[in-house]
């Protein structure tokens, strides 16, 4: 059976039953370099990955015109529909949801209900947008305070949407684990003088995400 056209699927050589539903950020599609590389690295470590696009991005792909992100209600409904579809079609032993930036934010807003009802085992946010760029007072953390769903946030220490100094001061739930990538920006790219490379940070992000998922399964 072929994969549905609306999905990009990275299957591991050995299907462990662990899957990651991976949503894109606000400005780049599901096949951006970040999304492609992370999906490949996760699959190489035994985690199946399903990527999809929110309605505005799918429309942009179809028409070639630029579209702003949908309203949050539409994003939430679209993501939930994908969760339900993965559960129905793939019947994963353990499903994790998450995404890059905005995709991770939407996932985190759906995590608690889906975790409580046993549909997911946890969430992984790669570069969480704790606030809009240049507006640190407009926090997007209210729903993260009482979260009980195991959640991993992989963040660059100098992310303009939430750097380490800022995030360390937020009252986040103890269910949230933050993994910091030295000198990484919102795409985990460090400055040359740091001694790290973006490729190294992408590998570290994938390894930490897999370790987190395995820990929730045990």
Q: pLDDT-derived band of residue 217, with 50, 70 and 90 as boundaries?
A: confident
Q: pLDDT-derived band of residue 5, with 50, 70 and 90 as boundaries?
A: low
| pLDDT tens digit sequence for 108-131 | 999 999 999 999 999 999 999 999
| pLDDT tens digit sequence for 172-210 | 999 999 999 999 999 999 999 999 999 999 999 999 999
Q: Cβ(30)–Cβ(99) under 8 Å?
A: no
pTM: 0.96
Going from the N-terminus, what domains does the chain have, and what CATH number goes with each? 8-217 (3.40.50.1820)
Q: What number is the average pLDDT over the span 80-93?
A: 96
| pLDDT tens digit sequence for 18-70 | 999 999 999 999 999 999 999 999 999 999 999 999 999 999 999 988 889 99
Which carries the bigger pLDDT value, residue 3 or residue 137? Answer: 137
Class of residue 37 by CB neighbours under 10 A (exposed 0-12, middle 13-18, buried 19+): middle
Buried b / exposed e over 131-167, threshold 16 CB at 10 Å, is beeeeeeeebbeebeebebbbbbbbbbbbebbbbeeb
């Amino acid at each position: 059976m072929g994969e549905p056209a609306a999905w990009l699927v990275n299957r591991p050589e050995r299907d462990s039953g662990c899957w990651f539903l991976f949503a894109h950020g606000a400005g780049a599609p599901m096949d951006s370099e970040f999304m492609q590389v992370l999906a490949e690295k996760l699959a190489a470590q035994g985690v199946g990955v399903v990527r999809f696009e929110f309605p505005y991005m799918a429309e942009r792909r179809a028409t070639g015109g630029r579209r702003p992100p949908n309203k949050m209600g539409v994003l939430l409904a679209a993501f939930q529909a994908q969760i339900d579809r993965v559960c129905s079609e793939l019947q994963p032993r353990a499903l994790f949801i998450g995404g890059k930036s905005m995709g991770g934010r939407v996932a985190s807003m759906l995590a608690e209900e889906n975790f409580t009802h046993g549909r997911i085992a946890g969430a992984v946010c790669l570069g969480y947008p704790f606030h809009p760029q240049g507006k640190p007072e407009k926090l997007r953390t209210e729903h993260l305070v009482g979260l009980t769903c195991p959640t991993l946030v992989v963040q660059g220490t100098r992310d303009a949407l939430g750097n380490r100094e800022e995030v360390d001061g937020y009252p986040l739930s103890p269910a949230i684990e933050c993994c910091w990538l030295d000198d990484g920006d919102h795409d985990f790219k460090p400055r040359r003088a740091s001694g790290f490379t973006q490729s190294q940070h992408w590998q570290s992000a994938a390894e930490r995400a897999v370790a987190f998922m395995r820990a929730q399964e045990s």
